[in-house]
Amino acid sequence: MTSTELKQVVIVGGGFAGVNLAKELAKHNSYVITLVDKNNYNFFPPLLYQVATGYLETSNISYPFRKLFRGSNNFTFRMGTVIKVVQPENKLVLDTGELHYDILVFATGTETNYFGMENVKKNSIPMKTVQDAIYMRNTLLERLERATREPDPAVRKKLTTIVVAGGGPTGVEISGMFAEMKRVVIPKDYPELIGSNGEIYLVDGLKSVLAPMSEKSQKYTYDTLTDMGVKIKLDCMVKDFSDDVVQFSTGESIETTTLIWAAGVTASVFDGIEKESYGRGRRMLVDAYNKVEGTQNIYALGDTCLQTTDPAFPQGHPQVAQVAIQQGVNLGKNLKNVVEGKALKPFAYYDKGSMAIIGRFKAVADLPKPKIHFNGFIAWMAWLFVHLVSLINFRNKVKTFYNWFVSYTTKDQSLRVIVKPGHQNTD
């Protein structure tokens, strides 16, 4: 087979789904893969909050695509953002040029959903990208520095009060991290702020934190966060955030300069994909093999797709990393099966369980088969192990393990630095 006969597979998005699909096809001589991403690196979203709070470096959770696939002769990378899809011509238009494809795969994950609240979008801090994490770290540190020289106690309290919107794993984990920083780090690094009375709030519109997890995990998490000093407000939704005041659906309000937004996500919509191909949460509707409904050669994976053919998940799969990983692997195997004349395998999600870390030696974990819940130190160790082995390469694992070892043995870390670009590159 000559190079002109090779199938051109274009994968948009280099997250869990996109990278695992690319790995499956990278050494198969029937395909040429082009990975498209607006960044030139893969990153590990579950640990973004540790970058944002200065417990990990950016390089701990990220790795360049070109180096990751070095040595794969049928792999190329294109940095860019999708402008539109021209289906009749099998053409993908990017802000950096055009690509032709035989097979197009969307693995773009999700973006932050502000539910139409423009003030929240403008004034809050999201937690979806590496840029978000760096911005959060810089902003929080700058506000602490400002608070140390603020003579007005009321303003100082606003600067040191944090509201976290969203009671899922990200909200729980970052609230726990802030609580430990308030107890351990602030008194040592910022003695001027002792007695500033800043509070940490975790807010969610549901009746419990970690709603998808077991009742035991929910109760342990609620009790543990409360013991750590986090004030939890349930059945309570953010309605507005302006002039340093967060307004809630209950009519209550909190004065703060900092609202961390971890309350919702939505998939992206692409010009050239018909509106009939989208379902709930703007996710692309796909069949059992992840082909987008109404298309001939376009697929969608992970958070960006809605698949209702799996008997165990008739309403669609949860938007978690394991679904994306397994769908990427399954599609890669099916594309190889097409070339080899083998039968295709419909996707079926194998739920490996869920977990969340709350603080030092505190975590929760639920295993579905057999149905087991555990918490505390054992769950904490399991969380560390699972996230460590899930990092993309050996270098990331070693650096992260080192930083964790320092953080958890000293109850401290030296990565709380404010670093900003000197100028904006307009190339």
Distance, CA of 100 to CA of 315 (rounded, Å): 34
Q: What integer pLDDT is reported at residue 1 of this predicted model?
A: 35
- CATH of the structural domain 118-263+353-410, one choice from 3.30.450.40, 2.60.40.10, 3.40.50.150, 3.50.50.100: 3.50.50.100
| Percent over 90 (pLDDT), the chain | 85
Output the pLDDT for position 2. Answer: 38
Mean pLDDT of the region 270-287: 96
CA 265 from chain centre, in angstroms, equals 10
- Listed range (28-42, 108-122, 406-420) with the worst mean pLDDT: 406-420
Q: What is the mean pLDDT of residues 220-225?
A: 98
Which residues on neighbouring strands pair with residue 97, listed in sequence order? 94
**Percentage of the chain modeled with pLDDT above 70:** 97
Is pLDDT of 413 > 80? no
Does 3-38+80-111+266-340 match 118-263+353-410 in CATH topology? yes
What is the average per-residue pLDDT within 29-50?
Answer: 95
Region 277-304: mean pLDDT is 97
**pLDDT tens string 110-153:** 999 999 999 999 999 999 999 999 999 999 999 999 999 999 99
Contacts of 375 (CB under 8 A, 6+ apart): 216, 217, 220, 362, 363, 364, 365
Indicate if the pLDDT at residue 197 is higher than 90. Answer: no
- Domain positions in the chain are 3-38+80-111+266-340, 118-263+353-410
3-state secondary structure the chain: CCHHHCEEEEEECCCHHHHHHHHHHCCCCCEEEEEEECCCEEECHHHHHHHHCCCCCHHHCEEEHHHHCCCCCCEEEEECCEEEEEHHHCEEEECCEEEECCEEEECCCEEECCCCCHHHHHHCEECCCHHHHHHHHHHHHHHHHHHHCCCCHHHHHHHHCEEEECCCHHHHHHHHHHHHHHHHHHHHHCHHHCCCCCCEEEECCCCCCCCCCCHHHHHHHHHHHHHCCEEEECCCCEEEEECCEEEECCCCEEECCEEEECCCEEECCCCCCCHHHECHHHCEEECCCCEECCCCCEEECHHHEEECCCCCCCCCCCCCHHHHHHHHHHHHHHHHHHHHCCCCCCCCCCCCCEEEEEECCEEEEEECCCCEEEECHHHHHHHHHHHHHHCCCHHHHHHHHHHHHHHHHHCCCCCCCCCCCCCCCCC
CATH placement of domain 3-38+80-111+266-340: 3.50.50.60
What is the per-residue pLDDT across 84-109, written as a single tens digit (0 to 9) for each?
A: 999 999 999 999 999 999 999 999 99
Sequence-ordered list of residues with C-beta below 8 angstroms from that of 28, at least 6 positions apart, any chain: 74, 335, 336, 339
Give residue 350's pLDDT: 95
* Full-model pTM: 0.92
**Given a cut of 90, is residue 361 above it in pLDDT?**
yes
Residue 134 confidence (pLDDT): 94
